Amino acid sequence: MNPGEFSRRRRQLMRMMGKGSIAILPAAQPRMRNRDVQYPYRQDSDFYYLTAFSEPEAVAVLAPGRAGGEYLLFCRDRDPQRETWDGTRAGPANAVSQFGADEALSIGKVDDILPKIIGDSERVYYTMGAHPEFDQRLTGWLSALSSHGSAAATHTPDQFIAIDHFLHDLRLYKSREELLAMRRAGRIAVQAHRRAMSICRPGLYEYQVEAEYMHEFHSQGGRPSYLPIVGSGPNSCILHYHANNRKLEDGDLLLVDAGCEYDYYASDVTRTWPVNGRFTAEQRAVYQVVLDAHEAAIAEVRPGNPWNQPHEAAVRVVTQGLKDLGLLEGSLANLLRTRACQRFFMHRTGHWLGMDVHDVGDYRIAEEWRVLEPGMTLTVEPGIYIPAGSRGIGKQWWNIGVRIEDDVLVTRDGCEVMTRDLPVDPDAIEAMIGTAAR
């Protein structure tokens, strides 16, 4: 991504902060998987959004109007011995030349220098709770500043403000550069779903289907944006199923929720298909209701509509569809009033999408649903889930779990479905299953 993109973001945030303030953002810490094995490192999204810096043990500081430079980055020193084991480090010099910092210093100096900068500030922007260890250090610095009182050359800032609201509002509106990355992430996910559909057949295991996604993501320079959900038969009705170890049986539905992350931006795509390439009558009927709800929700994604409007459209279609299938009883008005469909459709129709798969940004402003605006990106993902043993429901409907999910951009005159190249029509879906073995 163009370095100017990150500089623009920093300037935007500093304009919102105003002079006399300081924003402090720590890098993500490495996380242990077990014993001495770490999870693959992934930078904190807020930190990366402003810095493009992907190393741990770093702290970014924004101080509008600061004489020594408005953007200060504390990072690890170069260390040939450690770099032999763990890979190249940028070091302070490259943090300036390659990552646009006005000044860069060793992370070992943060305890000496950062408290002084804080003491020269009237307002501190920082979010407590996201980085517990750094929270303790910051609290210690503030306590020390306070205890020095008026005798000290510095003072305790007058205001301590969570940075989330300001930074996350910026992240909600995607730039051209961001959308290029998101479209690429979407294309890779689409190709991965196509690949998985083409190899699908009874007798495979869910993890073998998952492997096709991993292959496609990594072969195109991406990585999974979350743990893939590959749920067959009864597992299609488990919303956050991750075991992915069941054998695919003839007659099963397979629900796969799998997205790609590319250049720190996520896609989030779900398709549901029959393992043997042919929907049963009941599977197709439920699938069609979900597809109708999906299309109704997408039709409501346009500027000026409240965030909740696509969800309400989906709820109405799902409720009517379940009533028509005999899975809900009563008048439509009463079923809508009581939210009766939540028995089978228990989640929201979508969420913000961006650097995080469940991205940041307020859904309500002053207790009112936020209005959709151009540049916002979200998912549309209605579903119906009928687990085995559902009271009062015939066995022919059991183990039918269907979700259809696409990634959608709000445009000036409507919306763009960024993952539209992956079919949703049931006939087209059937035609794609098992083609690699034919």
* Catalytic sites, residue numbers: 36, 240, 257, 268, 347, 351, 358, 381, 385, 403, 405
Q: Which residues contact 424 (CB under 8 A, 6 or more apart)?
A: 271, 291, 294, 404, 406
Residues 233, 253: contact at Cβ < 8 Å? yes
Residue type, 147: S
What string of DSSP letters covers 294-353?
Answer: HHHHHHT-STTSBTTHHHHHHHHHHHHHHHHTTSS-S-HHHHHHTTGGGGT--S-S--B-
* CA atoms of 103 and 43, how far apart (whole Å): 21
Two tokens, residue 423: 């079919």
Two tokens, residue 265: 């931006």
* CA atoms of 385 and 342, how far apart (whole Å): 10
In 3-state terms, the chain is what percent helix, strand and coil (to 5)?
40, 20, 40
* Cβ neighbour number for residue 434 with a 10 Å cutoff: 17
Residue type, 325: L
Residue 74 — φ and ψ, nearest 5°? Answer: -90, 130
* CA atoms of 383 and 403, how far apart (whole Å): 4
Residues 200, 220: contact at Cβ < 8 Å? no
Residues 196, 244: contact at Cβ < 8 Å? no
